[in-house]
């Protein structure tokens, strides 16, 4: 598994390379399907000037762990999937999980099966992960929009904290 990084304006992008090497299959399936779904994961963050987690130390490792979950845990990565890593996504980060969604990166066609999907990974806090479990991914995204929260901002408040304060 390789993690690539691109620095641009206004985002820093990290993407997995190798997650799509094998098709994702249900771990309870008796047979593996080679033409099944395949995905890569893209994490886009606004560069933080300073503060806890500004250096994004460890984000490569966390993204590699996330991208390996189909092979290791049998998880099928798809939009609205919640993947909780149980540890900060980078040093000093309040985010311990990601919510997968549609990415701006177009699918990559394959001659022998489903295309490779590029899924956006939005970092979320433990409280936001609980929110997704209770109310669903769409409810969290709606709360972000209502509160004006940019999920790509590594210094953003948790949506729960915004709603508690308001």
User: pLDDT per residue over 5-35, tens digit each?
Assistant: 998 878 889 999 999 988 887 767 666 667 7
Q: Which residues contact 18 (CB under 8 A, 6 or more apart)?
A: 1, 2, 67
Q: Can you give the length of the chain in residues?
A: 166
Residue 7 or residue 78, greater confidence: 78
Distance, C-alpha 73 to centroid of its chain: 16
Q: Is the pTM of this model over 0.85?
A: yes
Q: Please identify which residue in the block is written with the tokens 């590029």.
A: 118
- Please state the φ and ψ torsions of residue 87, each to the nearest 5 degrees: -150, 155
Beta-carbon count within 10 A of 56 CB: 21
- Read off the pLDDT of residues 43-55 as tens digits, 9 standing for 90 and up: 999 876 665 455 6
- Asked if residue 114 has pLDDT above 90, the reply is no
Domain assignments of the chain as residue spans, ordered by start: 2-26+36-147
Alpha-carbon distance 122 to 94, whole Å? Answer: 13
Residue 2 · residue 67 · CB < 8 Å: no
């Amino acid at each position: 598994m390789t993690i690539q990084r691109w620095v641009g304006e206004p985002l820093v992008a990290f993407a997995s390379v190798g997650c799509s090497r094998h098709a994702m299959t249900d771990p309870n399936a008796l047979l593996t399907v080679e033409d099944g779904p395949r995905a890569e994961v893209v994490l886009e963050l606004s560069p933080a000037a300073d503060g806890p987690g500004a250096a994004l130390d460890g984000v490569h490792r966390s993204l590699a762990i996330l991208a390996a979950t189909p092979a290791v845990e049998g998880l099928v990565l798809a939009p609205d999937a919640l993947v909780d890593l149980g540890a900060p996504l980078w040093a000093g980060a309040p985010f311990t999980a990601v919510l997968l969604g549609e990415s701006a990166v177009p699918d990559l066609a394959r001659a022998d099966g489903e295309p490779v999907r590029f899924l956006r990974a939005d970092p979320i806090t433990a409280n936001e992960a609980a929110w997704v479990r209770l109310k669903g991914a769409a409810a969290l995204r709606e709360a972000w929009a209502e509160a004006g929260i940019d999920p790509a901002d590594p210094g953003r408040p948790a949506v729960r904290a915004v709603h508690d304060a308001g």
